[in-house]
Amino acid sequence: MTAPPGGPPRGISPRVISVDVLRGLTVAAMVLVNNPGSWSAIYWPLRHAEWNGFTPTDMIFPFFLFIVGVAIPLALGTRLERDAPGLVGRVLRRSLAIFALGLLLHALPWFHLATLRIPGVLQRIAICYLLAALLVVWSGGIAGWRLQALVAGALLVGYWLLMTRVPVPGGVAGDLSPAGNLAGYIDRRVLGPHVWTVSRFYDPEGLLSSLPAVATTLLGVLAGHWLRVAGTARRVTGGLVLGGLAATAVGWLWGQSFPINKSLWTSSYALFMAGLAALALAACYWLIEGRRWRRLAGPFVVLGITALPLFFLSSLMARLLLLIRVGPEQVRLQAWLFDRLFASWLPPIDASLAYALAYVLLWWGLMWALSRTGVRLRV
């Protein structure tokens, strides 16, 4: 994100490259875990936890939302003081565009509107960005950081109380099972057939669980404020490390009674992952902004500045590879490519990983080529 006109705040470059790098690493991980050669042959770190607990894959989405939050103060900057009403319109338009792209991915190619899944990854990003950015605008940017922190805390505590104190009809309070939890019940009642078809009981990007996801984004907003005002690289890094360690510790302790769970986006999960994301940002900031290791940053900056278009286009291509059939046996193009390029000479699990890595490299190459020609995709 670019700094506000008139020059960057003290200690901050016109573009905080470390934020782009972490965003690029995160979106690369998103593409990697979403596109194995075969879903039946995946190394465990590239799988989601079955329910409670987490794997490295469960870190990816909250990291991305945290970075969305970090970018909000960096992008809006001093424009909050000059054109707050204009920023509201900009935030609304961008959120609507991201949400619409998510719906389009789910609708293609048949557009079965009666069963179209409404929640989704892009849809959750749109909602979290919308609510977090509007709160930042209406509370006066960094001047309203206390209110923003209070809202984040209220969302986490409120969600915990709802999930542990409010029973579903015919159930008991505190039931956090796939079929018995309150978030899943609300999704089934409100969205009906418009939920994730893989599960009959809940949607991992559902309605109620969006509350702690917004809190994840707001915690990123607080980190973004810190980046703008902290000053030296040592002070920025130190603050991120302290905040990250505190959030990680509290989230872990909370998880002993309210389990860390990505599918439910439990409050402990939101806080724990935000803490880890802050630590990752601290490491990137220290190496890139502090130690000036800029050459290593280049490949990931290319991905970071086009993260949302990259996620959409890579998901769209993955969908097309499953739809297009080739040969006399009408084999899916994805399976045809996987069998001939990887599965023919590698063990199944290594072939699956190699396909995913090749898919990431393909999209990195496409984004790099576009950047070299001066074309920049934006949402």
pLDDT score for 297:
81
Residue 66: inside a domain: yes
Question: Can you give the pTM of this predicted structure?
Answer: 0.93
Sign of CA dihedral 25, 28, 34, 35: negative
Residue 377: inside a domain: no
Residue 256: inside a domain: yes
Identify the bridge partners of residue 261 per DSSP, sorted by sequence position.
52, 53
CB under 8 Å to 213, separation ≥6 — which residues? 62, 65, 124, 127, 128, 265, 270
Residue 378: inside a domain: no
pLDDT score for 292:
81
Q: Write the pLDDT tens digit of every residue in 13-67.
A: 447 899 999 999 999 999 999 999 999 999 999 999 999 999 999 999 999 999 9
Residues with pLDDT less than 70, the chain: 1-14, 78, 81-82
Residue 164: inside a domain: yes
| Residue span of the structural domain in which 292 resides | 17-372
Residue 12: inside a domain: no
pLDDT score for 65:
98
Nearest of 100, 117, 21, 22 to residue 60 by alpha carbon? 22
Question: What does the block give as tokens for 126?
Answer: 């749109």
Residue 191: inside a domain: yes
**Vertex 61 angle, CA 158 and 125, to 5°:** 70
Residue 215: inside a domain: yes
Neighbours of 366 (CB within 10 A): 16
What total of structural domains would you count in the chain? 1
pLDDT score for 77:
76
